[in-house]
Chain A
């Protein structure tokens, strides 16, 4: 098997590892793109295809399938923000987010959903995004699906997913089969550690190589520090080389001068860069309303082995609990996570003998998750990105009573489904819970659990918002084309532009919207 990255480098790709440069570097471009995840990767290919000279900047390293050994101890420090232990300001939510060339697409679990029609309707009604209809976005979704081989998973779900399917069916709760961006998938179950066989159609092996083959430049291990703002334009971008081990800035800097600057550093990174740069923000909207799809989890022990570490991690979902008015009680989507030793041990509550007993049932564990659709209610305004003294971002995300109420409902719904599928015990992932032996016991105990930070385990794998798009500059940062309302050569093409959360795993919506907006930008630039 050939490593497509090694092959491309052999063909003469223009790639700089900033940690190895020996003098300051100046680069010129038509378009500079910060971030190489779902938004940045997609934009790079679209813009390079139009004949534009593109420079990509990525804070993480360039790694490829020959580096991916399906080991958590290697993958988390190498490929994730803060070693897969990024926390919100009060430490209550752990955020899984990629940090490498390919961004989160390198380590996500491949689930691909189109933006729900109800979410788009809300964006049209509340944010004046009139062009964001399912019909007008359909061609972009189709293009993204074709480009990344997105198709409904055809193999039977692994047992972890099958339990969700079976339990839901017993209770008359509808489920669906997840569409995945894979080609020649061997059903290994290690998507979260970098696909070792290049089956996952991440940005690393699709759009980024295509852009590099067209002459684009990639600078990795390089943190975009700040733009220079001059009047209503950005004039350059300062980038620090990062030490590969300590992640501290190295002495050498890269300066990029471009006609257009595209920010695609995600819902935390994009607002942080704009804040560091002093981009005009008279209403304090940059970094506000950052959403996480906060997740609560329920762990069931099954009589038969589940081996939830093997097989496509996510293949079954249920949207039954999203079937609520958007401004009513919070809705949630049900899915399952893969179960690997480190992630499980750090997530499951307790220690000592009780913790040891829980881990002894590791191979029999079935874990279900509920991701909360945040951002549609007065009591769900998301979080705010702030800068720490060293300029790195911190997300302050308070969990409101409204959210806690929804999380308790979700813990109940998941336990009921797990018992309906034959679980011998179910334990909500909560410090004060223990394995409950029956639905009746679970019902009573979950109703009484204290819903508080660092007692209820809350995690997130979806960062959205913080740089909302909309028609009105009083309530949004960029317009529907992704262009900043005040600065004419600044665009945001990533999940940060979502004015609410999506209510579905975001990658496909980021691809489609970034592709649409990048194609429009390319057209304007080329016809100039």
Chain B
């Protein structure tokens, strides 16, 4: 593995940990709930998984306030549902297999090294799993990471509320 990998792991960990310590305390044992929305494709288990992955991937972007953070995650999971529902049936099936692998506790532990339920897993732990898959020697794990990355990023940056932070003014007014 190239030196940059180790360097990035350390950077990500250090920068994220201060902010995350508080947030993950506040969140522990709180399952992902969103009673008000009808989901097209994501099951309750998928939603918990994607919320956990988004919580780690969007570190540094999500609001620090616990309530606002939770709202932002709900928005992202809803966005992910829309993103995935727009894919053709074959691709949705492939994605379902990946999500199932990561949700069933024995395989979750075995392939992802996550031995606690997703909502109870600290963001740093989720980030370490994502980094392992990102640079994995297995092309399958690398592609799994890429799929999760694409879904979360498309859900987050497809939402106009994310734009002011990155200096994108949105489309010009007609």
Contacts and interface: CB of A to CB of B under 8 A. Distances in A.
Question: Are both chains from one complex?
Answer: yes
Interface of A: 69-73, 76-77, 82-83, 85, 90-92, 188, 190, 196, 245-248, 305, 309-310, 340-342, 344-346, 350-357, 359-360, 362-363, 388, 390, 392, 431-434, 445, 448-450, 453-455
A190 B171 contact: yes
Contact of A454 (B11, B146, B153, B156): B146
9 smallest beta-carbon distances between A and B, as pairs: A77-B86, A356-B60, A70-B171, A73-B158, A353-B15, A363-B167, A345-B153, A454-B142, A362-B166
B5 A432 contact: yes
Interface of B: 2, 4-5, 7-8, 11-12, 15-16, 56-61, 79, 82-83, 85-91, 127, 130, 134-135, 139, 142-143, 145-147, 149-150, 152-154, 156-159, 162-163, 165-168, 171-172, 174
Contacts of A390: 89-90
B90 A352 contact: no
A344 B159 CA distance: 14
Contact of B154 (A90, A346, A350, A362): A346
B57 A355 contact: yes
A450 B127 contact: no
Nearest to A362: B166
A89 B143 CA distance: 11
A483 to B, nearest CB: 31
Contacts, number: 146
Given A351-B12, A353-B59, 14 more contacts: A71-B171, A76-B86, A82-B87, A340-B168, A341-B163, A346-B154, A351-B56, A351-B59, A362-B167, A431-B135, A432-B2, A445-B4, A453-B142, A454-B142
Contact of B166 (A245, A305, A360): A360
A449 B4 CA distance: 10
B142 A455 contact: yes
Contact of A352 (B7, B12, B87, B157): B12
A341 B157 contact: yes
B93 to A, nearest CB: 9
B146 A359 contact: no
Contacts of A445: 4
Interface of A is mostly: loop
B88 A91 contact: no
B56 A360 contact: no
A159 to B, nearest CB: 14
Given A341-B166, A352-B60, A247 B89 contact: yes
Contacts of A392: 88, 90
Contact of B16 (A342, A353, A363): A353
Contacts of B15: 352-354
Nearest to B146: A454
A363 B145 CA distance: 27
A342 B57 contact: no
A454 B58 CA distance: 20
Contacts of A305: 167
A352 B168 contact: no
Contact of A91 (B85, B143, B159): B143
B134 A356 contact: no
A354 B8 contact: yes
Contacts of A359: 61, 157, 165-166
A190, A352, A353: residue with the most chain B Cβ atoms closer than 10 Å:
A352
A90 B143 contact: yes
A357 B163 CA distance: 14
B4 A432 contact: yes
B172 A70 contact: yes
Contacts of B130: 351
Contacts of A355: 57, 60-61
A360 B167 CA distance: 7
A340 B163 CA distance: 10
B156 A362 contact: no
B113 to A, nearest CB: 17
A432 B8 CA distance: 9
A363 B83 contact: no
13 contacts: A73-B82, A188-B171, A196-B174, A341-B168, A345-B154, A346-B154, A353-B12, A353-B15, A353-B59, A355-B61, A360-B166, A362-B167, A455-B142
A253 to B, nearest CB: 18
Contacts of B150: 85, 346
B149 A351 contact: yes
B168 A309 contact: yes
B130, B162, B168: residue with the most chain A Cβ atoms closer than 10 Å:
B168
A362 B168 contact: yes
B2 A450 contact: yes
B59 A356 contact: yes
A196 B172 CA distance: 11
A83 B171 contact: no
A118 to B, nearest CB: 35
Nearest to A248: B89
B149 A346 contact: yes
Contact of A72 (B60, B85, B149, B158): B158
A161 to B, nearest CB: 18
B8 A350 contact: yes
A108 to B, nearest CB: 18
Nearest to B93: A390
A433 B4 CA distance: 7
B89 A449 contact: no
Contacts of A77: 82-83, 86
B40 to A, nearest CB: 8
A390 B171 CA distance: 38
B88 A342 contact: no
A433 B150 CA distance: 18
Given A352-B127, A353-B12, A245 B85 contact: yes
